[in-house]
């Protein structure tokens, strides 16, 4: 099941998105128990940024792989871990990001995500003109 690293921290200005990712993780955990004896593998994949439409990253770089590179890495984890960031690059990034003090993480998230949210609102308003 596809979730997101947004499930691991309450994300300002992404309230619905972040909350739905927590829901997916919870649902996956329940389904994994229900299907434990069937041989069906239920894995939760929680990426950071991958260069797709949703992330709006057009270029790839170390922490933002292409969908193909990400999928290749994530597939290798099936049957090994039940919940994963999907690739080593995201595992490293998550360790760095979620390892910083909570107040600093919230401060940075608010600053970055508020600016992003305002940019997107402006783009939508411009489109509707
Ligand atoms: N890319 C990232 O950085 C990233 C990070 C964390 C988690 N994720 C998760 O990964 C999953 C896949 O995202 P992606 O990166 O592959 O994004 P994507 O390339 O933008 O693909 C999103 C897909 O969802 C479909 N979709 C969007 N709204 C829909 C709706 N209301 N009903 C039905 N289908 C809808 C789109 O269909 P159309 O093509 O027809 O619009 C598209 O096929 C998402 O659940 C996302 O939360 C992605």
Which pLDDT does position 50 carry in this prediction? 98
The C-alpha atoms of residue 54 and residue 63 are separated, in whole angstroms, by 16
- Name the average pLDDT for the chain: 95
Ligand 1 pocket by C-beta < 6 Å: which residues? 2, 4, 47, 49-50, 52-55
Instruction: Tell me the residue ranges of DSSP E strands in 1-129.
Output: 44-45, 83-84
101 C-alpha vs ligand 1 centroid, how far in Å?
Answer: 30
Contact assessment for residue 81 and residue 43, using Cβ atoms and an 8 Å cutoff? yes
- 108 falls within a domain: no
Range of the domain at 36: 5-100
pLDDT digits (tens, 9 = 90+) for 12-71: 999 999 999 999 999 999 999 999 999 999 999 999 999 999 998 999 999 999 999 999
- 110 falls within a domain: no
111 C-alpha vs ligand 1 centroid, how far in Å?
Answer: 24
**Whole-model pTM over 0.85:** yes
Asked if pLDDT for residue 129 goes beyond 80, the answer is: no
Look up tokens 């760095």; give the residue. Answer: 96
Of all residues in the chain, the percent with pLDDT exceeding 70 is: 100
Of all residues in the chain, the percent with pLDDT exceeding 90 is: 90
Tokens of 41: 């593998």
35-48: b (≥16 Cβ within 10 Å) or e? eeeeeeebbbbbbb
- 129 falls within a domain: no
Tokens of 15: 């309230």
- Catalytic residue at 17? yes
Which pLDDT does position 128 carry in this prediction? 82
- 123 falls within a domain: no
Which pLDDT does position 13 carry in this prediction? 93
- 121 falls within a domain: no
- 78 falls within a domain: yes
Which pLDDT does position 12 carry in this prediction? 93
Confidence class for position 126, pLDDT limits 50, 70, 90: very high
User: What's the domain count of the chain?
Assistant: 1
- 47 falls within a domain: yes
Q: Which residues contact 114 (CB under 8 A, 6 or more apart)?
A: 12, 13
Contact assessment for residue 59 and residue 68, using Cβ atoms and an 8 Å cutoff? no
């Amino acid at each position: 099941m596809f979730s997101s690293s947004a499930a691991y921290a309450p994300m300002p200005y992404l309230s619905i998105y972040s909350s739905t990712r927590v829901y997916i993780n919870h649902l996956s955990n329940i389904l994994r128990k229900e299907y434990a004896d069937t041989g069906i593998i239920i894995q939760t994949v929680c990426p950071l940024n991958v260069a797709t439409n949703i992330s709006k990253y057009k270029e790839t770089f170390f922490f933002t792989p292409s969908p193909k590179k990400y999928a290749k890495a994530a597939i290798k984890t099936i049957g090994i871990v039940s919940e994963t960031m999907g690739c080593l690059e995201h595992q490293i990034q998550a360790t760095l990001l979620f390892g910083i003090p909570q107040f600093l993480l919230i401060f940075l998230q608010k600053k970055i995500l508020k600016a992003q949210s305002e940019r997107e609102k402006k783009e939508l308003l411009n489109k509707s003109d």
